[in-house]
Amino acid sequence: MASHEVDIVARHVPAGEEVLLAFSAYTRMGLGRRVVGVTTRQLVVVKSGYMSLSDKGLLWAAPLTEIALNDTYTRWHTNGVYTGNAYVTIQRSDGSTTTLNPRSSFWGGRGSADDNIAALYSAIPSRY
């Protein structure tokens, strides 16, 4: 787990609440960047600077009991080759959804998105 992402998420949670998971994620076809964190009680989404990882303020946080992940996620392939991009959709209790590409870097075909999604599915039990 990257410590800078943990530090960013920790700024937005109550004292004593443990950050279990934190990673960068891209939105809007790679045009926006977020820091996503799962704590012992909630999912936290923080706006980040695009080129450098930074805290631009809390976008939203929701108790783990009030969010769900889509049953499946999508891996992006181009000409049959996995690009390293994978997309997971999060649904909040009000029915709104957010789709994230949780990769550690914007460029390259590494499996970081798959690893982050697997950790997210392990941490959040609800599905829709």
Q: How far is CA 1 from CA 7, 36, 40, 93, 94, in A?
A: 11, 12, 15, 27, 30
Q: What is the pLDDT of residue 103?
A: 80
Identify the structural domains of the chain with CATH numbers, from first to last. 3-123 (2.30.29.30)
* Average of per-residue pLDDT across 39-45: 96
The yes-or-no verdict on residue 30 having pLDDT over 90 is: no
Per-residue pLDDT tens over the stretch 47-96:
998 778 889 999 999 999 999 999 989 888 888 888 778 899 999 999 99
* Average of per-residue pLDDT across 97-111: 73
Q: What is the pLDDT of residue 109?
A: 53
Q: Say what the pTM is.
A: 0.86
